[in-house]
Every structure is written in C-alpha cells, then in structure tokens.
Structure 1
Amino acid sequence: MSQIDYFTEECSVEAVNTRMGETINPRLREVMASLITHLHGFVKEVELTQEEWEFAIDFLTRTGQTCDDKRQEFILLSDTLGVSMLVDAIQHRRPEGATENTVFGPFHVDGAPELEMGANISLDGKGEQCLYEGRVLDLDGNPIEGVRIDVWSDNSEGFYDVQQPDEQPVWNNRGVFITGPDGRYWFTGIKPVSYPIPDDGPVGQMLRHLGRHPWRPAHMHFLLDHPDYERIVTHTFVAGDTYLTSDTVFGVKESLILDYAANPDVKTGWQAHFDFVMNPHEQ
C-alpha cells in the first residue's frame, strides 16, 4: 500500500496506517492497523460530533485521574464494557470439562499468608460461616498434588479488606492453601454477599447514563497455580443471587454457580462443594 499524502474523510484509515514505519514490530502493526480501522469506522458510522469527541476525551482523562495504587478505574471500565471477559475467553479456550476462567477483579493482593488446610480465613468473625471444600483434578479425574490455591472474598458488608484498611484486619477473608496427594482442599470462610463496584467515578456515571446497575453477584475468588497446568482464575457464585444474570462485569458462567447447602455440623452455617479441573499446558 502506497502512502497517502493528504488526509481526507474517505481515505482516513489509509492515511494513518500507511505512516507506520517499515521496520516496526509485526504484531504491533497488526494490532494498531486494526484499531485504526475500527476506530475510524466507528467515528464515521455514528458521525461523532466535536462536542461528543471532547466529552469522550474528558471522560478518559477523568478515568485516568481516578486511578491510584488502590483503585484502577480503567480496569473497571474494561470490565463493565465486557472487554475483560472477552479477552479472557479468547485466551483461555479449554477442553470440555476443564474449569472455566472468569475476571480476575481489582481486589487481589499478593502475599496472602499460606495456611494449614482447614483454616478459617474470616478474621473478623462476621458473616455467615461457610465451609469450602472439594478436589483439584486433571482431565482424567486424577487428583493433583501441590496446587497453590489463593482465595479471597468480600466481608459480610460487601467490602474487601483493602477497601476498609482501618476497619478490617489485614488479610481478612484471604488465604493460600496447598493440596496434598489426594488433591483435596477445605477451608472456612463466610458466605459471600453481592456488592456494587466502586461507582463514585466516571465508570459509575457511565453506568447510570446507560440505565445499568453497578452490582456484582455474591462470589468467592479462586486462583489456582501448578507448574504443569494452566493457571485458573475464577469465582464460584451463589445460586439464587439477584444479580447472576445482570453481573455488571459479565463474569458469571453457568458452570461456576453453586448451591450453598446448610452445613449440618455448624448452626446457621453453610457448605459449598466445588471440584476444580485443570488443563495441562500442552493442551
């Protein structure tokens, strides 16, 4: 394609894409050329006005200004537009039977303490107690030893410990467990509750203008690592939650919805059973 010397409405895509250098990274060329094509196509399709363009620039500016070391507004924007889930789905196409991924979320914290199997991760003692248990298996149903399971959830009021550093104990509702030869895991936490994503910034304003709510259905986070298998980043969701079919970040998958049963050993307690199935790297 020869370079277009002058920019016109009709040849806007070619004018921009032909300016890229000959020696740039091929993947960068592919991604940026497609981005320019679709972006210009969108502007032409809706005939974007100057006022709308300026509003968009201001929106993105405010989104960046809202970010800090504890809040990532651009991740929220990606999540609520379904982009995070789409990227994840494309990157984690797995065979039937393997546990499905979902969004990572902004509230994971590295360095959670490694605990003995069966430990209680609820440090504030609030909420409805819940026993989480199951196995980690390969595609043939064999137990996997040495799987690192990192878990975290909100508290009984719908907040993560990092959102309330002056109110919740450090590492509240967080922990790391390592499976033994039987592949089993079990620990005590609380039955999670649904909660809204932070909606006091630009993303929240966008949702309100779109007639959408900011709520996520109740879920427990799981991050599973093993050197021989693909990492699993997922949630398990509470069956019957009001927001299962309208999760603001589109994270719910039917295979991840669990019936929480009454725990006969604990008064007013619950239990949630889920077997994780890991896919080997070569798959």
Structure 2
Amino acid sequence: MTTTTDPSYVDPALINPRAVRLVEAFKNALARMRDEEGLTFDDLNAVTDLLQRTQTATGAPLALVAMPLYSELFQGGRDGYTPSEDVNSPTFIPGSPRIDNPGTLQMQPDEPGTPLIVSGRVLDGHGRPLAGAKLDIYHAANNGNYSGLYDDGVPKYNLRGHQFTDADGRYTFTTITPVAYADPHITAVDGVAEAVAAVGRSLYRPAHIHYEVHHSDLIAPWRGEIYFRGDPVIPVDFVGGDTGPSRPAGRHRPARGPRGHRRTRFPGPLQDHGVRLRPQDPHQPRHHHAEDHAGMTPGTQRPDRLPG
C-alpha cells in the first residue's frame, strides 16, 4: 500500500519559533557583513573548509573548533575566561584525586618546570568565605600537553587534583608553573598559521590554570581559568581576543619557601575580579541542569584534542 504525502505540508507542532528567529538573524548578520565588509561566498567556504580540516585533525566537535571566532560572546557576563558555565573545557577529566589543603597536585618525580605555590580565597556572592567548596584544579604540563588526553605514557591525573577550602574559604596548592603552548595537532593543519596571523593572533595559548568551584549552596558551579598578570600572550590568545571582562590574573611575589619554589598569590577566582558565586535561592532547584533554550541537553562527550 502506498501512502501519499503532501510535499508542501509541514507539521506546525515541529516548528521551533526560536530556531526560525535565529536562522533569520544569522542570515541578516551575514547580509550586513556582505554589504558593509564585502563578505563573499569564497570567504565562507575558506573558513568552513579550514574548520572542517581542523575538526578532522583534532576529533573535537565543530562548535569547539570554531570557538576562536566567537568565544568572547559566551562569557555570560562573568570574569571567568572559559566561555560560560555551561561549556566544559575539553581538557577536563572527572575523578581527579583529592589533595590536602595545603597540598600538591599529582606529578611525576622528574616533572620538568619551575615549582609554584598558589593560594587564594573563595567567597560567595555576598563576599562571605565559602567553606568546604570543592576546587577542581588542573593545567598543562611544561610541554603544553594535558594528561589523560594522549597515549603518551603520562599518568592520567598528572597535574590534576581537587581540594576543599578551609573554614575561611582559603586554599593553597603546589604545582609546576604552566607555560604558553600551541597544540601541535592544530598547528599542523595547513592554513591554520596563516589564518591565525591574518586576524592578529598567536598560535599559542597563554599560561593558565583551570579551576572548577563546586558547592551545595551555589546555583551552578563556577568554571574558569586563572592567568598570569603581564603575560604578553594574553592579548593575542589563540582562543580569542578578550572583549569581555578582564581575565583573573595572579601577581608574582617572591616569598620565603622551599628552595626553587615561587609563591604566587592569586586573588582567588572569585574575589578581586568580580566573579560572584550566586548563593542557592530557596525558590530555585538546588541542582543546576544545563539545558539550552531549544530544550536540548548539551552533550558531555569530551573531544580528544583542543586547546584548553
């Protein structure tokens, strides 16, 4: 039996008004770029071709590969440089080992680099110490690689760990000073170096340490990255120029301590730079569930390679 379907029929129940508006707005934006900046189809084809080849080389979702083009748009009004609290870093690995406070991130006995002591304080949105907050901490090694992402013989949780703040919201940990790095899988893609230079950016990411702050009194976790004040790579960061709030940055101060160590007093990702953690509203659900406006839950699959 053959069923005849009207080819002009569209089920009204399947139409998403928001999707219609977004597509129309996107086309209008492209039209303005065509009229005001001379955008051509060849321009679009060149960009999408480069993104597709980068996606093939890295295995990362295309939206994350394209993030250098729009990362500033999704900072959500926060001071954290990670685009938003709904965007997990592709370099995050759950299940890191707990360390003491003060403590030391797990590292290899011959870990290269300059030892670094980091300390700070976590405050809630009212400026009160947030005791017992869980801090997930991790960063790249001296060669720019993140542990657990490559089959390179490095322990899965190298330079990764979590700790809990004390009664005064303070934390301290020892690690290796991170360095600026360029992902070799991305830089090896033909045309990437030229494209990055064309928009005035470097192939490198500035040195940074990733933080995630979790607490039962918070509406949502805080995710972000801590940078080093005065790092010349920050203004030309591969991931994107900063049009949003300033990125949190630590000051380097000499301090008495073990030989060969540097102590860095970070202002805490939540204190001097206005990253305000919102206390739990009793009228809101305690557990935040990230969901976009079209009703689709963001995926949790982590790409293999992408600058973090």
TM-score, normalised with respect to structure 2: 0.70
Deviations 1:12-69 (A, max 9, x none): xxxxxxx99754223222222211222344345555556545444533432442342x
The structure with more helix, counted as a fraction of residues: 1
Structure 1, unpaired ranges of 5+: 1-18, 95-99
**Alignment correspondent of 1:188:** 174
Q: Which amino acid aligns with 2:102?
A: G
Cα distance, 1:153 vs structure 2: 0.8
- Do the aligned residues in 1 keep the contact of 2:206 with 2:231 (CA within 8 Å)? yes
* 3-state SS, counterpart of residue 262 of structure 1: coil
* 3-state SS, counterpart of residue 62 of structure 1: helix
Q: Which amino acid aligns with 1:27?
A: R
Cα distance, 1:171 vs structure 2: 0.7
The Cα RMSD (Å) is 3.0
**Alignment correspondent of 1:160:** 146
Q: State the alpha-carbon separation in 1 of the partners of residues 229 and 254 from structure 2.
A: 13
Q: State the alpha-carbon separation in 2 of the partners of residues 20 and 45 from structure 1.
A: 36
**Aligned 1:35-114 pairs, distance under 5 A:** 35-45=26-36, 51-52=42-43, 54-68=45-59, 71-72=60-61, 74-78=63-67, 80-81=68-69, 83-88=70-75, 91=76, 93=77, 100-103=79-82, 105-114=89-98
Q: Using a 3 Å threshold, how does the CA distance of structure 1 residues 85 and 109 change in structure 2: closer, same or farther? A: farther
- Do the aligned residues in 1 keep the contact of 2:141 with 2:159 (CA within 8 Å)? yes
150, 161, 165: which one pairs with 2:136?
150
Q: Whose relative contact order is higher, 1 or 2, with alpha carbons under 8 Å and at least 6 apart?
A: 2
222, 237, 240: which one pairs with 1:247?
237
Among the aligned pairs, what percent are the same residue? 25
- Do the aligned residues in 2 keep the contact of 1:139 with 1:279 (CA within 8 Å)? yes
**Alignment correspondent of 2:16:** 25
* 3-state SS, counterpart of residue 187 of structure 2: coil
Query: Are 2:222 and 1:232 equivalent residues in the alignment?
Result: yes
The structure with more strand, counted as a fraction of residues: 1
- Do the aligned residues in 2 keep the contact of 1:149 with 1:223 (CA within 8 Å)? yes
- Do the aligned residues in 1 keep the contact of 2:139 with 2:178 (CA within 8 Å)? yes
TM-score, normalised with respect to structure 1: 0.76
Q: Which moved more, 1:248-257 or 1:140-149?
A: 248-257
